[in-house]
């Protein structure tokens, strides 16, 4: 690959990351977590190093197969422009998925929240049903003792 062509590719990658890294940070901040697993086919994680450098590692995983694959690993201290690309998967399938996630972020958050709420309600119903069953059993046992 010629130098100008390679340079354009790297500039395109860097421009892409300048949109992706803030999106990842905003998403995790909105969800009040440091990691989100399988959010629209991608997982996002930020690891902070509290030592002298105070650097952040932003990692994105693509759920193409059974095991999520690392597709981006980016490290920076204060300015994204001064960051270091540790790993960037060249396969573009995950990039299309990420662009879709970026466009539909609000819809995906709503769906995750609704699914979580349904699971909590379901767990609450099961818990109440178990409590009622246990109380019924206790009442039945107490009747046997007093009779």
* Nearby residues of 46 by Cβ (< 8 Å), 6 or more positions away: 24, 25, 28, 34, 35, 56, 57, 58, 59
Report pLDDT digits (tens) over 15-65. Answer: 999 999 999 999 998 888 899 998 889 999 999 876 666 789 999 999 987
- pLDDT above 80 (res 132): no
Q: Which residue has the higher pLDDT, 29 or 124?
A: 29
Q: State the pLDDT at residue 48.
A: 86
Q: Phi then psi for 85, rounded to 5 degrees?
A: -85, 110
Q: Which residue has the higher pLDDT, 120 or 20?
A: 20
- pLDDT above 70 (res 75): yes
Q: State the pLDDT at residue 147.
A: 46
Report in angstroms the alpha-carbon separations of 124 from 89, 116, 130, 136.
42, 12, 10, 18
Least confident of 78-82, 89-93, 101-105: 78-82
Report in angstroms the alpha-carbon separations of 140 from 54, 56, 146.
62, 59, 10
- pLDDT above 80 (res 11): yes
């Amino acid at each position: 690959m010629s130098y100008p062509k390679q340079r354009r590719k790297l500039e395109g990658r860097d421009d892409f990351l300048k949109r992706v890294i803030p999106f990842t940070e905003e998403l995790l901040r909105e969800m009040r977590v440091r990691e989100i697993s399988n959010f629209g086919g991608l997982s996002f994680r930020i690891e902070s190093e509290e030592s002298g450098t105070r650097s952040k590692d932003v990692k994105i995983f693509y759920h193409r197969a059974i095991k999520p694959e690392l597709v981006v690993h980016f490290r920076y201290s204060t300015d994204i422009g001064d960051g270091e690309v540790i790993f960037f998967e060249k396969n573009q399938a995950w990039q299309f998925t990420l662009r879709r996630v970026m466009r539909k972020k609000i819809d995906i958050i709503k769906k995750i929240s609704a699914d979580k709420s349904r699971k909590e309600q379901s767990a609450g119903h099961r818990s109440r049903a178990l409590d009622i069953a246990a109380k019924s059993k206790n009442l039945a046992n107490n009747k046997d003792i007093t009779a």
